[in-house]
Every structure is written in C-alpha cells, then in structure tokens.
Amino acid sequence: MYNYFSKLLFLSLYSPTIKSMKVIREIFGNLPGKADASLYTITNSNDVTLKVSDYGGIIQSILVPDKNGKPGDVVLGFDNLEGYLQDQPYIGTLVGRYAGRIAKGSFVLDGTEYNLARNHGQNHIHGGIVGFDKVLWQASEFANKKGAGVTLKYISHDMEEGYPGFLRVSVSYTLDDENQVCLDYQASTDKATHLNLTNHAYFNLNGAAAEIYDHELMIASSAYVVTDHDLIPTGEIGSVEGSPLDFRVPKLIGKDIHEVEGGFDHCYVLEGDGKEPLLAARVVHQESGRVMETYTTEPGVQFYSSNFLAGITGRGGIPYRKHLALCLETQHYPNSPNIPGFPLTILRPGKTYNQRTIYKFTTL
C-alpha cells in the first residue's frame, strides 16, 4: 500500500508527461438513429492539441503553435459532426479495410474470388461504401509515461464490404511532449484477408490560409508506383529521377504541381523494414515556421495534393478546394491484392497486423 501511494506521488511530482497531459471527452454529435459520437481532446505541455473522434477515427484538429507561439490548425476539418456526415472525401478519417484502389473491386485469395463493393466507377476505393471512416469505434482514453491519447477498437464482420474474415482492429492515437502524434494500428483475423490501413488527414501548415504551393516538401523516396488513367497501379515501379515527382531534395510543392495532370496523387516507395518507423517525408512552411515530419513502418506513402477537393465549406467558413492541403497516407501500395511482387497485404489467422506512423511537429 505504502509503496503504491509513494509511487503515485513520485510519478505525479516528477513525471512532466503524466502531470501535464490529459484527455477530455465531449459529445461531438448524434449519429442519426444511433449513439452519440464523442470528441477527445488531448493537450500536451507545449500547447499542442489533438482532437480525435470515435466516429470514423477522425483527426478533427491538430493545433500547433507557429514560430511566434501562435496556435493554428494544421489539418482540415469541420466544427461539428454534421460536416463529417456529408459526402466528403475522407477528411481526417481512418481508412480501411483497404486504403487506395483495388481494380474491378475484386481479388483472388487462396483460390477463392472475392468481390468487393465497387464504390469508385468499376473499382473499389478506401474500404467500400461503409468503410472504417463511417463507423463508430469503441474508444478508451489513456495517459501513460509516453503521452496521452485514445484507443479505438472496431470489429469488422466476415464479408463486410465483401472482405473475408472476422477482423478485430485497434488504432491508438498518442500525443506526447515531443509534439508527436503517433498512430499505432493492430489487427487480427480468423480467415485470410487483405488489409491496408491509413489515416487520411489533409495537412496545411498555414491554417488553410492558402493553397499548399508555398509548402516545401521532401519525400525520402526515389521510386513510385506507376498507375494507369484510372489511377490503378500497373505493377510497374518508376524512377522519380528527372521528373516533377522527384522530392528527394526539398522543393516547393507549387514548383512542379502544374506539370502533373491534376496534381500529385502518387504512392512513393519507402525503404521501411516494417519494424522501426523511418522518415518518409518532411514538410516545411517558411512563413509560419511550422515543420512536420512523417515517420512510418509502411513500405509506401501516398502523396495526394487534394486534387479532387471541391464544393465543401470547412472550418471557419473556408471553401475547401483543389490543392488546399496535402495528404501523406502511409500504407502499402494500392491494388496489391492483384499484383504479384508488391509487398504483401495478406493477413492470416494467428498473425498480427502492425503499423506505426508518427506525425511530428516542430518550428524553424
């Protein structure tokens, strides 16, 4: 007893993390005919604030101070749940079971053909009609010596959106005192299935004040997944050398964006070994002084310059439009279930799917 209380006292007096970090839950809104969705606010001792909802695992807001200490939101989002219930392109959401496109919405796994929801022309995208972005997750808050956050759990039933296997998924969002937002994904299944999870946050380090042309980007990759006119991977891996896709040396996004039809929407090949998160990308916004680094265990990152964003009004009445934000969706390559030779996306019973992705914020 004595030991327990003295340990608690010691932790509360000497652990800055435990002392400063807290998670506050509030009602975010009502899901028609269902339960209430909640919004969890986590604040660290540097005034960085992360807001996550159990509806769709949405990152609703990340407030980060600029070089003068003035906080600004570095992700697009909506003030209330209704904003997320409208037809909107995965703003801040989790994506699953499969991030990206699967050609013709079908694959053959262990000799059986599976037909998925075709929710993008003839193809399947981002998990189908009711993907992980549109379900209510079961949430629990935590605070430990690494930081504070929320763990979301969801059970996806056998054949949901056409995918085999009863799948248990868990995603933890942790904010720490090094201004890192860490996403830890885990999943297991009772039947072989395909799985490719990501988060679809749209970043703008300048509080969505203007298009991302003045954001400087580095992507630690010399190769990308070649796609056809429907953005379906052909199986070929291309070199970025000498093309507008080359971001190995930091470059303003606006420099070459108009050289690429529509803008950037490419999966870059990363060197990750699946164990330790490696630096995938760095975004620098000179004027605000905000910097974001992305680290991941995944073999790919989809750099999407919000080419199809249009027609919706976001936080603060800002019209959300083409090139207003960038997504760095850490993942396996699109259409992997149909392309032998791509890193495998199969999850088998008895195995655990693991992914760690970190978005780290600093200032110049």
> Which residues participate in catalysis according to the annotation?
200, 329
Contact 215, 326 (CB under 8 A): yes
The CB-of-46 to ligand BGC minimum distance in angstroms stands at 30
Q: Out of 329, 330, 335, 355, name the contact with ligand BGC by CB under 6 A.
A: 329
Provide the mask over 179-218, with x wherever binding to ligand BGC is found by CB under 6 A and - wherever it is not. Answer: ----------------------------------------
305 touches ligand BGC (CB under 6 A): no
By the rule CB under 6 A, 89 interacts with ligand BGC: yes
Work out which of 28, 40, 55, 90 binds ligand BGC, going by CB under 6 A. 90
Nearest residue to 57 (alpha-carbon basis) of 144, 123, 131, 157: 131
Whole-number minimum distance, CB 178 to ligand BGC, in Å?
28
Binding status of residue 133 toward ligand BGC by CB under 6 A: no
Three-class DSSP category at 13: helix
Cβ-based nearer residue to ligand BGC, 21 or 326 = 326
Neighbours of 13 (CB within 10 A): 9
Smallest distance, ligand BGC to C-beta of residue 107, A: 19
Nearest partner of 233 among 83, 320, 345, 348, judged by Cα: 345
Stretch that binds ligand BGC, among 162-170, 212-220, 300-308, 343-351 (CB under 6 A): 300-308
Options 31-39, 80-88, 165-173, 301-309: segment touching ligand BGC (CB under 6 A): 301-309
Among 141, 214, 256, 265, binds ligand BGC (CB under 6 A): 265
Is 16 or 319 the residue whose CB approaches ligand BGC more closely? 319
Q: Is 314 in the site for ligand BGC (CB under 6 A)?
A: no
Cβ closest to ligand BGC, residue 176 vs residue 329: 329
**Which one, 134 or 168, has the nearer CB to ligand BGC?**
134
Q: How far apart (Å, rounded) are the C-alpha atoms in residues 116 and 166?
A: 15
Q: At its nearest, how many Å lie between ligand BGC and the CB of residue 71?
A: 28
- H-helix or E-strand containing 148? strand 147-156
Neighbours of 336 (CB within 10 A): 25
DSSP string, 179-248: SEEEEEEEEEESS-EE-B-EE---B-TTTTSS-GGG-EEEE--SEEEEE-TTS-EEEEEEE-TTSTT--S
Neighbours of 124 (CB within 10 A): 30
Element (H, E) at 3: helix 2-14
Tell me how crowded residue 282 is: count the other CB atoms within 10 A of its CB: 18
Bond into 356 cis (ω within 30) = no
Torsion sign, CA atoms 52, 53, 54, 58: negative
Number of residues that bind ligand BGC (CB under 6 A): 9
Question: How many other β-carbons are positioned within 10 Å of the β-carbon of residue 50?
Answer: 27
Stretch that binds ligand BGC, among 142-150, 160-168, 216-224, 302-310 (CB under 6 A): 302-310
Binding mask 214-243 for ligand BGC (x = CB under 6 A): -----------------x------------
Which residue's Cβ has the minimum distance to ligand BGC?
89
- When asked if residue 304 is in the footprint of ligand BGC (CB under 6 A), the reply is yes
In the complex, the residues that contact ligand BGC under the rule CB under 6 A are 89-90, 126, 231, 265, 302, 304, 308, 329
